[in-house]
Each structure stands twice: as structure tokens, then as C-alpha cells.
């Protein structure tokens, strides 16, 4: 159910439950269930990071449009004639009635009625502006615009590390957004993710892809509403297919698959060494005080096998660390996840001690017999 209040961009330290995908995408969570960790999970384990990149690019496109409208509103408030030179009084009235724009990132089903109304007015204004020919083809992006400062595609994407309202922090010319930048942003999303055979094509229903292509290429639209259906579809796909696995991996465990495989190998080798040594000590009739040293290989083997089974290193969890890539660690800062992992760590340690005690008692107290 959609909340009637605008979600805060700050993490919720009092949340006594696991976060939702909506909260993760809105940067309201902390490691190891934050947006950065979800991006790494989608890239390395789910192998479907293109869907998340599409979502992030559409969210950035929405922020770009909002920032552009804020710039126009600011120009009206300070008395510049920019609107009057290129538009009508009707568009100026739309700007005045648009209200305070927020940067909530979410599917339409998660937005309040006020937020939906704001987004509709924003898209209507941009459609009206394009239809009235307010931007002619010779108007390039100013030197300080977003479009002229776009990063090369080979560089790592920064969008999941930045706040969605970063554009509103400064009034300097370096933060100016030109109308062609919005058009370029919409075309980049279309040509990168949606057209058949594109560089990072994602699978969407043909009806959605055809509607977006027609809106951008034939109707000349670039307002955020063009991508609403695709954005909702991708959100539901990630929520259904990827997010449950992400929570299992990060909220119930703290290891990545390569590390789990390493623990499985070390655990099996340790158990083999323990059993091999135990039978030698029994058949050579070594005293029980010597056989007590079997606790070392059995503890190591059971510990690593339990870590692999539960995808959780209990000591690392109790210290407060989680692995996000192989041998790279981050602190567990989400309070509920920290509590959950501590409980599971104590359970894993209890199982480990119980199994080790049973093995040691078995091989220490079994009568020895020299062959």
C-alpha cells in the first residue's frame, strides 16, 4: 500500500524488519542491504544488472526533468524573461501550480496521489513544451549543462552512489540543465536498453517496447511518463525474481559464493585429515590424552562446512562484517540485519560445538586396538 507521506531519503534506524525493494532503491537502507550491495548482487550473482541499470537511468532521467523544471521556476521567481521568450502564459501557470517537486524513486503503485499528480503535471508540462516547439533544433546544451558533462560510457556508473536530489544543492551554472539534455537522456535509455539488438537490451513485453519507441521517435516525447510502464514492469521483476535472493544472501548470511566454495574445500580437507588421523591413533593404540588433539581438525572442518551450509561465517558476523565481493568486507550497519545475523551466528556456533563434541567423544573414548 502506498504511503501518503513522502519517504525520507535518510536511512530508517528504527526499522524492526527487513527492508523492501522500494526502500533499497530510495537509498533508505544501510549496508549490507543498501543499494550498492544490491547492485553488486545483481551484477555478480543474479547476472541481470542491466535491469537495475535501466531502473537507475530512468530515475536519473526523472531527476533531470525535475531539475530542469526547478531551473525554469527559479528563473520566473528571480524575474528573468526566459519563459516569456519561448512559451506561453499557460506553461508559466503550470509551473506555478506544480508544487514542491520531490525525488522519490519508485513504481507508480508506491506513490501517493499527490506524488502521482506532481509527476503527471511535470510530464504534461514537458509534453506541452515540446509540442509548442519551445526548443528548436539548434539549441545545444550550454557549456555547463548536464548533457555536456555526461561521463563516458566506459566509466563506472555513479548513479547508485549519489543521492537522487543532488542536482538541487547548487544554483551555480555548472548545474544548469538544458532542454536538449532531457531529449538526449531519453534517447540514450531507448538506444541502450530497449531497441532490439541494443548494447544492453532488457527483455520487456513487446507492447511496452513498441509504445516507448513510438513515443520517443515518432511523437518526439521525452517526459518521464514515457517510461512508467517499463519502470513498473522492471520493478516487479526485480521484486519477484532477484530481491528475495538478495535478502537471503545479505540478511541471513554474510558470504559470497566463491568464499563459500573455498570454505567447502577447506572443510572437506580438514574432515578428511581428522578422520584419517583418528583411525591411525585408534589402530596404533595411542592414549586418549593424545587423541584429544583431534579436536583441532574436527573443529576446523565442522566450522567451515557449517559456514558453507548456512552461507554465514559466525565469527565474522559477531565482529560485524559482511562480504560483498570475494575477500572484500563492509561493516554491518543495518540494525535489524545485525541483530538477525548475530542470532544466526550463535546458532551456527552452537551446531558446530555440538558436532565437534560428538566426534571428539566418539574417537577419544572408543577402545584402541593395535593391528
In sequence order, the β-bridge partners of residue 322 are 330
Q: What pLDDT is stored for residue 79 in this prediction?
A: 56
Can you tell me the mean pLDDT for 100-113?
59
Average pLDDT over residues 65-71: 87
The pLDDT of residue 22 is: 93
Q: Is the pLDDT of residue 175 over 60?
A: no
Angle at CA of residue 280, ends 277 and 282, nearest 5°: 110
The CA-CA-CA angle for residues 221, 234, 29, to 5°, reads: 110
Count of Cβ atoms closer than 10 Å to residue 133 Cβ: 11
Task: Classify each residue of 144-176 as buried b or exposed e, where b means 16 or more C-beta atoms within 10 Å of its C-beta.
Answer: ebbbeeeeeeeeebebbeeebeebbeeeeeebb
Position 237 confidence tier, pLDDT thresholds 50, 70, 90: very high
* Percent of the chain surpassing pLDDT 90: 61
Q: What is the pLDDT of residue 115?
A: 66
Q: Count Cβ atoms within 10 A of the Cβ of residue 102 and give its class: 0-12 exposed, 13-18 middle, 19 or more buried.
A: middle
pTM here is 0.79
Judged by phi (left if over 0) then psi (alpha if -120 to 50, else beta), residue 251 lies in alpha
Helical axes 49-77 vs 89-96, angle rounded to 10°: 110
Q: If you ran DSSP here, which 8-state letter would residue 123 be given?
A: H
**Element holding 329 (H helix, E strand):** strand 328-331
Q: How confident is the model at residue 75 (pLDDT cuts 50, 70, 90)?
A: confident
Distance of CA 258 to the CA centre of its chain: 21
Res 102: pLDDT: 55
Cis amide linkage into residue 32, ω under 30° from 0:
yes
Average pLDDT on 60-70 reads 89
H or E segment and range at residue 321? strand 321-325
pLDDT of 179:
84
Least trusted range by pLDDT, from 61-65, 103-107, 180-184, 316-320: 103-107
pLDDT value, residue 346: 97
Distance (Å, rounded) from C-alpha 228 to C-alpha 58? 9
Nearest to 234 by CA among 57, 94, 17, 52: 52
What are the phi and psi torsion angles at 360 (to 5°)?
Answer: -65, -45
Q: Are 30 and 334 in contact (CB under 8 A)?
A: yes
23-32, 128-137, 138-147: least confident range: 138-147
* Higher-scoring residue by pLDDT: 68, 119: 68
pLDDT-derived band at 127, boundaries 50, 70, 90: confident
Q: Name which of 106-115, 183-192, 326-335 the model is least confident about.
A: 106-115
Distance separating the N- and C-terminal Cα atoms of the chain = 73
Q: Is the pLDDT of residue 113 over 70?
A: no
Strand-pair partners of 321: 331
Name the pLDDT band for 151 (thresholds 50, 70, 90): very low
Structure confidence at residue 246 as a pLDDT band (50, 70, 90)? very high
Classify burial at 131, counting beta carbons within 10 Å of its beta carbon; exposed 0-12, middle 13-18, buried 19 or more: exposed
- Looking at residue 323, the DSSP 8-state letter turns out to be E
- Side-chain-side CA neighbours of 313 within 13 Å: the count stands at 21
Rounded average pLDDT over 358-364: 95
More reliable by pLDDT, 4 or 272: 272
Q: What is the mean pLDDT of residues 331-341?
A: 96
> pLDDT confidence of 369, banded at 50, 70, 90?
confident
**Average pLDDT along the chain:** 81
What is the average per-residue pLDDT within 334-342?
Answer: 96
Amino acid at each position: 500500500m502506498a504511503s501518503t507521506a513522502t519517504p525520507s531519503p535518510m536511512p530508517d534506524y528504527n526499522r524492526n524488519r527487513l527492508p523492501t525493494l522500494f526502500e533499497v532503491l530510495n537509498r533508505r537502507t544501510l549496508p549490507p542491504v543498501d543499494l550498492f550491495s544490491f547492485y553488486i548482487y545483481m551484477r555478480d550473482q543474479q547476472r541481470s544488472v542491466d535491469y537495475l541499470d535501466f531502473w537507475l537511468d530512468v530515475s536519473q532521467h526523472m531527476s533531470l526533468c525535475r531539475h530542469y523544471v526547478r531551473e525554469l521556476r527559479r528563473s520566473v521567481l528571480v524575474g528573468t524573461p526566459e519563459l516569456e521568450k519561448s512559451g506561453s502564459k499557460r506553461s508559466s501557470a503550470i509551473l506555478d501550480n506544480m508544487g514542491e517537486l520531490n525525488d522519490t524513486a519508485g513504481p507508480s503503485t508506491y506513490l501517493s496521489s499527490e506524488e502521482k499528480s506532481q509527476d503527471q503535471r511535470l510530464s504534461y508540462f514537458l509534453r506541452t513544451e515540446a509540442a509548442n516547439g519551445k526548443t528548436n533544433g539548434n539549441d545545444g546544451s550550454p557549456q555547463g549543462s548536464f548533457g555536456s558533462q555526461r561521463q563516458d560510457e566506459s566509466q563506472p556508473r555513479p548513479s547508485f552512489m549519489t543521492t537522487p536530489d543532488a542536482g538541487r544543492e547548487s544554483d551555480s551554472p555548472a548545474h544548469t540543465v538544458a532542454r536538449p539534455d532531457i531529449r538526449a537522456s531519453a534517447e540514450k535509455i531507448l538506444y541502450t536498453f530497449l531497441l532490439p539488438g541494443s548494447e544492453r537490451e532488457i527483455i520487456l513485453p513487446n507492447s511496452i517496447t513498441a509504445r516507448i519507441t513510438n513515443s520517443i521517435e515518432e511523437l518526439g516525447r521525452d517526459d518521464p511518463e514515457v517510461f512508467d510502464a517499463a519502470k513498473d514492469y522492471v520493478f516487479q521483476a526485480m521484486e519477484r525474481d532477484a530481491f528475495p535472493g538478495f535478502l537471503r544472501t545479505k540478511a541471513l548470511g554474510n558470504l559470497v559464493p566463491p568464499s563459500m566454495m573455498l570454505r567447502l574445500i577447506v572443510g572437506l580437507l580438514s574432515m578428511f585429515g581428522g578422520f584419517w588421523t583418528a583411525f591411525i591413533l585408534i589402530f596404533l593404540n595411542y592414549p586418549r590424552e593424545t587423541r584429544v588433539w583431534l579436536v583441532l581438525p574436527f573443529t576446523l572442518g565442522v566450522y567451515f562446512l557449517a559456514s558453507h551450509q548456512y552461507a554465514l561465517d559466525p565469527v565474522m558476523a559477531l565482529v560485524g562484517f559482511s562480504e560483498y565481493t570475494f575477500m572484500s568486507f563492509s561493516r554491518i550497519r543495518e540494525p535489524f540485519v545485525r541483530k538477525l545475523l548475530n542470532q544466526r551466528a550463535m546458532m551456527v556456533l552452537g551446531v558446530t560445538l555440538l558436532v565437534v563434541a560428538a566426534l571428539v567423544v566418539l574417537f577419544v573414548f572408543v577402545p584402541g586396538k593395535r593391528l
